[in-house]
Structure 1
């Protein structure tokens, strides 16, 4: 089967197409096979490839296969969030790559996954949209749960133009929070439709901070740092507030009784099933930036790093 291997830590040029044996049923006890139709290119993929998580990956070294988000069809029956899922069921999920550290990701034709990572895809959601949802939406939902902010609190969401940030805006607005969104110029109208109360254009941290304080002169109750800006945004938080980072190396040192949390999403099949149904019902909106064949993975990484178009880049397999 075709896979994409990271041959060394570095830029997109280290990604290479390769061939590996297709797994057989029962090769890994407790795992089921999914024939993939689509895989998302996530920030985690970019950072792992670049070697930014080398301390977290321990003895694992290239070559390995990247990829977290996926959508495809079950090759083996599997238990599901609510009853069994027969072979042929359309499913989506994400591999907790940094927790597993097997080097087996979703840039492949067939993945072996834990059934606890899977949720069925509703009929009205295609593979492309489904592959853009799992890691981003579950991360946003679990981070909002960790914030513990009551309705009426002010939440700053950086990276609001991206897939994770867009879900955070939607979940926060649904929870009754006043959202200040940091986003690309031109996305203001769309983000306000999604629930943002105010929008600030991306830029240098000092400039962004000054613009945030125009909308929240008393500073914000919490930060969801979807853009991985890190320490510079801590100044926007009230004393005793909360800051949620999405990468350990971008978590600021706590000060002024501010609670700092780092959220690395854990698979939650029931939550993902609910989220995918909300996408089907148009209660949640996802965004796909580009759809590219697996063979163009290096270019997909270049586009993702350049941030040319907000949204998830999807590899079709």
Structure 2
């Protein structure tokens, strides 16, 4: 089968097409095969490829296959949240790549997946959109639990134009929070429809924080740092506030009794089923920035890194 391998740590040019044996039924106890139709590219993929997490990867070194989010069809029957899912069922989910550290990701035609990693995909959600949802939405749900802010509190969401940030804006608004969103220029109207109270165009961090102070002179109660501003953002966070980051190396040191958290989503098939149903009913809105063939994974990484367009870049397989 075709896969895209990371051949060395570095820029997008280290991604290369390769062939590996296709998994056979029964080879991996407790796991089933999924033939993929789409795979999402995440910030974690970019940072792992660049070698930013090499010290946390144990003995795993190139060549390996990246990728967490996936959408496709089951090749084997599997237990699911509502009962047995027959072969051929459309599913979406994510591989906890960083916890597994096997080097087997979703930039591939067929993967092994634990049934807890995926959920059935409603007919109203296509494979492309589905591949943008699982990790981002579960990260957003987990982040909201970590923030644990009461209704009426003010939440600053950096990186609000991204898929994770958009989900946080929607969930926070539904929870009764006042959301200040930092976004790309042109996204303000859409984010306000999704629930943001105020929007600030992303730019130099100090200028962004000055504008945050104009909207919240006393500071904000919480920060969800999807744009990885890190320590500098603490300047607008109240004493005893809470800061949640989506990258382990961008979690600031605690100060002023501020609680700091790293948001790493955990697989949860039951919760993912609920989320995918919310996407199908348009209760939750996702965003796909680009769709590119698997063979163009290097260019897809370039676009994702450049912020070509906000949203998830998806590989079609």
Relative to the length of structure 1, the TM-score reads 0.99
Q: 1:224 corresponds to which residue?
A: 224
Secondary structure of 1:55 counterpart: helix
- 2:193 is the alignment partner of 1:193: yes
Partner of 2:131 in structure 1? 131
Once the 2 structures are TM-superposed, how far is the Cα of residue 271 of structure 1 from its aligned partner? 1.2
Superposition map of 1:297-312 within 5 A? 297-312=297-312
Q: Deviations over 1:17-50 (max 9, x none)?
A: 0000000011111110000000001001000000
SS at 2:4 equivalent: strand
Residue 92 of structure 2: aligned partner: 92
Q: Distance in 1 between the 2:81 and 2:215 partners?
A: 42
User: 1:268 Cα deviation (Å)?
Assistant: 1.1
Corresponding position of 1:267: 267
The 3-state SS of whatever aligns with 2:233 is helix
Question: Which position in structure 1 is the counterpart of 2:148?
Answer: 148
Q: Could you say which residue in structure 1 is the equivalent of 2:112?
A: 112
Report the Cα offset of residue 187 of structure 1. 0.6
Which residue in 1 is equivalent to 2:29?
29
Q: Deviation per CA, 1:211-234, whole angstroms, max 9, x where unpaired?
A: 100001110000000111111111
The two structures have a TM-score, normalised by structure 2, of 0.99
2:236 is matched with: 236
Is 1:293 aligned with 2:298? Answer: no
Match of 1:122? 122
CA distance in structure 2 between the partners assigned to 1:17 and 1:236 by the alignment: 45
Match of 1:253 in 2: 253
Match in the other structure for 1:40: 40
1:188-211 deviation digits (Å, cap 9, x = unpaired)? 000000000000110111111001
Shift of 1:81: 1.2
Q: Which residue of 2 aligns with 1:164?
A: 164
CA RMSD of aligned residues (A): 0.5
Q: How far off is 1:273 after superposition?
A: 0.7
In the TM superposition, residue 247 of structure 1 has moved relative to its aligned partner by 1.0
Q: Distance in 2 between matches of 1:182 and 1:139?
A: 18
Unaligned runs of 5+ in 1: none
Verify: 1:13 aligned to 2:9, yes or no: no
Q: What's the CA shift for 1:308?
A: 1.2
Other structure's SS at 2:92 match: strand
Instruction: Describe the SS at the equivalent of 1:60.
Output: coil
| Secondary structure of 2:210 counterpart | helix
- Structure 2, unpaired ranges of 5+: none
d(CA) in 1 for partners of 2:204, 2:38: 35
Task: Give the number of aligned pairs.
Answer: 317
**Residues in 2 aligned to 1:237 and 1:130: alpha-carbon distance in whole angstroms:** 34
